[in-house]
């Protein structure tokens, strides 16, 4: 039977009996962790074990560990990284290598706890209009440079046994509003979008998983990309991304409607998996029922993503850190 077409979270530090029973029945493709789920190394490993035991397989467990403002694991559990844009600026001509090393070390931190996916690289283009919630999470303003740095970040994670999640497809950088609270509109014409915002995603279209942007691209479709068949077609055909497409959190305020209706709309549009975060168990159940089981095409992409997961390569941590400090003139961490 195909996996459940969801990625879901948990309330606390260990799964309750009700959560275990729900996950056993819903069989989500994977899980996502937040700060409320993270306390000690042993507890995190035990929670990851709870998730996988509930579904009876090595389900992927992801997290938002970009570094900077968006990192769920913080000291003493993990290094406290500079925001990506500052990291790139400090590294200068060594930015490509510095991004590889940053995300190779992040991957090592994640795998120590049983976490084998990360919601990065984020290759949205920064610009003068980019909202503050996103801007210093970006890697730069030029498509070719951002694609280069995104590839370095992805390669670092893959070498560390962590599956990258490319986001926010097909580009969030022009948003002047925070999609956690509002629905941003982008009014640039389709040709300009293809030349700029879409370009880094096209360069990285071979990555195993991607996450949608809750944005309206006015020149293409009046619906938000996550629930727009036309925008998912742009992602698949124009950008050429054939990896597993997950939604950004379906409960974000950019989208209006019930969780069930939004989940059904996203699946109908062509998304493979619904990501739902920070809700009640009843809301998770609503999303799981609406999303249903993966389509055969989604299952194929899910299995391909899992096949990209591999054992970490050898890592000399002191040498890696020394190399990174040299590239960054000592200013690596927040």
Annotated catalytic residue: which of 124, 197, 221, 248?
A: 248
CA distances to 31, 69, 138, 309, 334 from 39, rounded to whole Å, are: 17, 19, 28, 26, 21
Residue 314, helix vs strand vs coil: coil
CA 239 to chain centre: 18
Question: Is 180 among the catalytic positions?
Answer: yes
> What backbone phi and psi angles, to 5 degrees, belong to 26?
-75, -30
CATH topology for 85-259+295-328 is: TIM Barrel (3.20.20)
CA angle 329–330–334, rounded 5-degree value: 125
Annotated catalytic residue: which of 25, 180, 195, 218?
A: 180
Per-residue pLDDT of the chain (334 residues; tens, 9 = 90+): 899 999 999 999 999 999 999 999 999 999 999 999 999 999 999 999 999 999 999 999 999 999 999 999 999 999 999 999 999 999 999 999 999 999 999 999 999 999 999 999 999 999 988 989 899 999 999 999 999 999 999 999 999 999 999 999 999 999 888 889 889 999 999 999 999 999 999 999 999 999 999 999 999 999 999 999 999 999 999 999 999 999 999 999 889 999 999 999 999 999 999 999 999 999 999 999 999 999 999 999 999 999 999 999 999 999 999 999 999 987 888 7
Q: What is the pLDDT of residues 142-160, one digit of tens each?
A: 999 999 999 999 999 999 9
CA angle 154–155–159, rounded 5-degree value: 120
Domain ranges (residues) in the chain: 85-259+295-328
pTM of the model: 0.96
Question: Is 93 among the catalytic positions?
Answer: no
Residue 87: name the closest of 330, 323, 322, 318 by CA.
Answer: 330
């Amino acid at each position: 039977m195909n996996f459940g077409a969801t990625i879901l979270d948990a309330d606390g530090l260990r799964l309750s009996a009700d959560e275990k029973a729900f996950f056993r029945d819903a069989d989500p493709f994977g899980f996502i962790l937040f700060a409320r789920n993270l306390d000690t190394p042993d507890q995190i490993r035990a929670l990851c074990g709870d998730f996988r035991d509930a579904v009876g397989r090595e389900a992927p467990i992801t997290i938002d560990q970009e570094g900077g403002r968006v990192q769920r694991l913080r000291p003493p559990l993990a290094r406290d990284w500079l925001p990506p844009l500052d990291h790139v600026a400090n590294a200068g001509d060594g930015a490509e290598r510095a991004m590889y090393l940053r995300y190779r070390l992040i991957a090592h931190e994640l795998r120590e706890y049983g976490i084998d996916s990360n919601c990065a690289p984020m290759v949205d283009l920064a610009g003068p209009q980019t909202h503050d919630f996103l801007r210093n999470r970006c890697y730069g303003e030029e498509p070719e440079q951002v694609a280069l740095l995104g590839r370095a970040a992805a390669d670092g994670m893959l070498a560390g046994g962590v599956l990258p999640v490319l986001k926010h497809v097909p580009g969030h950088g022009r948003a002047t509003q925070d999609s956690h609270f509002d629905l941003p509109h982008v009014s640039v014409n389709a040709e300009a979008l293809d030349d700029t915002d879409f370009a880094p995603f096209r360069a990285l279209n071979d990555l195993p998983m991607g996450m949608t942007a809750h944005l309206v691209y006015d020149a293409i479709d009046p619906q938000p990309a996550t629930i727009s068949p036309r925008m998912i077609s742009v992602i698949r055909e124009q950008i050429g991304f054939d990896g597993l497409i997950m939604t950004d959190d379906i409960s974000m305020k950019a989208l209006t409607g019930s969780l069930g209706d939004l989940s059904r709309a996203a699946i109908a549009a062509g998304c493979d998996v619904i990501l739902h975060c920070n809700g009640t168990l009843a809301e998770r159940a609503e999303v799981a029922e609406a999303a249903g089981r993966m389509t055969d095409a989604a299952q194929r992409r899910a299995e391909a993503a899992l096949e990209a997961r591999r054992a970490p390569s050898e890592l000399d941590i002191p040498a890696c850190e020394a190399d990174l400090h040299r590239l960054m003139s000592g200013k690596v961490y927040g």
